[in-house]
Amino acid sequence: MQEHSSIIFHCVRCSSDAIIIRMEATPAPSRIAERKLRDNEARRAQIIRAARRISEIEGWPSVTVRRLSDEISYSQPVLYSHFGSREGILAAVAIEGFQEIGVALEKARKRDKHGNTVESVAAAYLGFAASSPALYEVMFSLSLSVPFGEAATPPELRFAFVQLLELFPGQGAKAEVLAELFWASLHGVAELTRTRRFPRSRQKERVKALVKIFTFPR
């Protein structure tokens, strides 16, 4: 985007009643701050994409600040200036993952309004965990300082949890506890399946049994 200066025309009347038009250029509002913000956001997104790409191929132990620096050709101080530490990078990836799973659950919940929304959301949750194992791992399994159920909980996490909470209308004060238990059950199935403690061949049976437990008359 090109920056332009605005032109202000001043009319000056001389003693001979002639009018002289004088032009003065005034600088346009600076867009440096906006451009810097866009550049920072783009660089931050690039770092997160690189971390996700490496983790999917080689696992999270390979995602180090040095490796990311080599991968995207930015100095390590640049990465630290954005995230503070390796954990900060992983936390940013985890938060992005919660936004994505929240969107997936919301779509499943709204798509099947006249069917069993609990079943649709359960399938979407387990499908997300299975299709993005490295992302799911950093969201839940790694030791990160992302707060859950606190005032400082990021909105992305709250958004994802709301999709589970919406499954239990009319349950009053029990709704939040039911959402937590449903989430815990889904997470257990996802993790035990991911780590091959549960055979995938019985996944449909597990989902049906879980849905039956958490389906209530409206």
pLDDT, averaged per 10 consecutive residues of the chain (218 residues), comes to 47 50 53 84 95 96 96 93 94 96 96 82 96 94 82 94 94 94 96 91 93 89
Contact 118, 206 (CB under 8 A): no
The pLDDT value recorded for residue 1 is: 43
* DSSP tag of 29: P
The pLDDT value recorded for residue 113 is: 66
Q: How many Å apart are CA 24 and CA 123, to the nearest integer?
A: 66
DSSP 91-146: HHHHHHHHHHHHHHHHHHHHHTTTS-HHHHHHHHHHHHHHH-HHHHHHHHTS----
The pLDDT value recorded for residue 27 is: 47
The pLDDT value recorded for residue 2 is: 46
The pLDDT value recorded for residue 207 is: 93
Tokens representing 136?
């799911």
Domains along the chain with CATH numbers? 30-84 (1.10.10.60), 95-218 (1.10.357.10)
